[in-house]
């Protein structure tokens, strides 16, 4: 679409919260995010490489840091899996991401699920943009009853995987892809009210600002306050192959990525031993345990 038309999009979204002040999180463990600093760093690397992106491999750690939004890459993160899905990834040595339209909250990815309108009233859909993005949701919470119950669902049991933001992002980030800095992001979700989301649809937006990947990724780092207890982190990948599939599977070595596997607190002892051995038989060599969330405490009272 021509630049002049992009500049006249009536997407009517108000993204003032993406200004740097909104990304200076109160949580002192989270780094403040500056799009300006990110842009400056990319220019510096490009200058050092004389414009040759093939040399970016030497700066991978820099790109990991500048494409992490309001998030330190040393943070421990956790994800609860359906056991069968997890075992399938383990057997295939793949990590599976999904298109955000598969996420349950109807407000998810609200920008790319909306409809644009040009000045002449012509409606514009965003399917071609929306469907090249894939994501995976993790949490900064080490233990949470609500997360266990949500992700376990009707399954007999579930497993939680522990890693770090750096390990996950390093695995997903293909530094050899020419447009890598536009395509790979990880960030801490920001929680807003329903009214705040509705207010974003009141101001005309210059869509030409959405050409560097970051802005689209940031729209996927917004969630309603009702879900704030999840303390979520999201890995976001723009697929370079434009595939027609709701799943994107990334090669992985389970022992390089996963620091610990924890079974849910309700699993029966015999089943726990059986499934633990199944994981070991498929090549995982790290620590495997069971959540102690509901273990009965023992206190000794001094008399």
Residue 22 has pLDDT above 60, yes or no: no
pTM of the model: 0.82
Interatomic CA distance for residues 14 and 114, integer angstroms: 14
The residue behind tokens 């273990």 is 295
**Residue 289: band (very low, low, confident or very high) from pLDDT cuts 50, 70, 90:** very high
Could you state, in order of their start, the residue ranges of all structural domains in the chain? Answer: 3-20+30-290
Residue with more model confidence, 121 or 93: 93
* Distance from C-alpha of 86 to C-alpha of 258, rounded to nearest angstrom: 12
Q: Please, what is the Cα angle at 231 between 172 and 100, to 5 degrees?
A: 50
- Phi-psi category of residue 206: left, alpha or beta, with phi > 0 → left and psi -120 to 50 → alpha: beta
User: Do 126 and 114 meet the contact criterion of CB atoms below 8 Å apart?
Assistant: yes
The backbone torsions φ and ψ at residue 270, rounded to the nearest 5 degrees and listed phi first, read -65, -40
Angle, helices 269-281 vs 83-92, to 10°: value is 20
pLDDT tens digit string along 194-237?
Answer: 788 777 666 655 555 445 578 778 888 888 898 899 999 999 99
The DSSP bridge pattern shows strands 133-139 and 232-238 to be: antiparallel
């Amino acid at each position: 679409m021509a630049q002049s038309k992009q500049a006249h999009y009536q997407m009517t979204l108000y993204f003032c919260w993406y200004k740097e002040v909104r990304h200076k999180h109160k949580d002192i463990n989270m780094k403040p995010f500056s799009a300006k600093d990110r842009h400056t760093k990319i220019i510096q690397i490009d200058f050092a490489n004389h414009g040759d992106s093939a040399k970016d491999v030497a700066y991978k750690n820099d790109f990991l840091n500048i494409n992490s939004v309001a998030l330190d890459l040393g943070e421990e993160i956790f994800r609860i899996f359906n056991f069968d899905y997890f075992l399938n990834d383990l057997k295939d040595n793949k990590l599976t991401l999904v298109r955000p339209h598969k996420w349950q909250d109807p407000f998810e990815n609200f920008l790319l699920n909306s409809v644009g309108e040009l000045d002449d009233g012509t409606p514009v859909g965003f399917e071609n943009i929306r469907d090249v993005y894939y994501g995976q949701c993790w949490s900064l919470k080490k233990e949470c009853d609500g997360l266990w119950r949500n992700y376990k669902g009707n399954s007999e049991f579930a497993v939680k995987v522990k890693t770090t933001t750096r390990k996950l992002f390093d695995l997903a980030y293909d530094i050899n892809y020419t447009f890598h800095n536009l395509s790979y992001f990880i960030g801490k979700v920001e929680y807003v009210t329903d009214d705040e989301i509705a207010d974003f649809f009141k101001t005309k937006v210059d869509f030409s600002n959405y050409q560097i990947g970051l802005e689209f990724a940031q729209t996927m780092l917004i969630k309603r306050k009702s879900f704030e207890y999840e303390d979520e982190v999201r890995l976001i990948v723009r697929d370079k192959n434009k595939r027609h599939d709701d799943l994107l599977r990334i090669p992985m070595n389970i022992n390089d990525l996963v620091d610990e596997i924890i079974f849910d607190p309700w699993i029966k002892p015999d089943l726990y031993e059986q499934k633990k051995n199944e994981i070991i038989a498929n090549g995982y060599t790290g620590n495997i345990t069971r959540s102690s969330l509901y273990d009965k405490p023992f206190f000794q009272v001094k008399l």
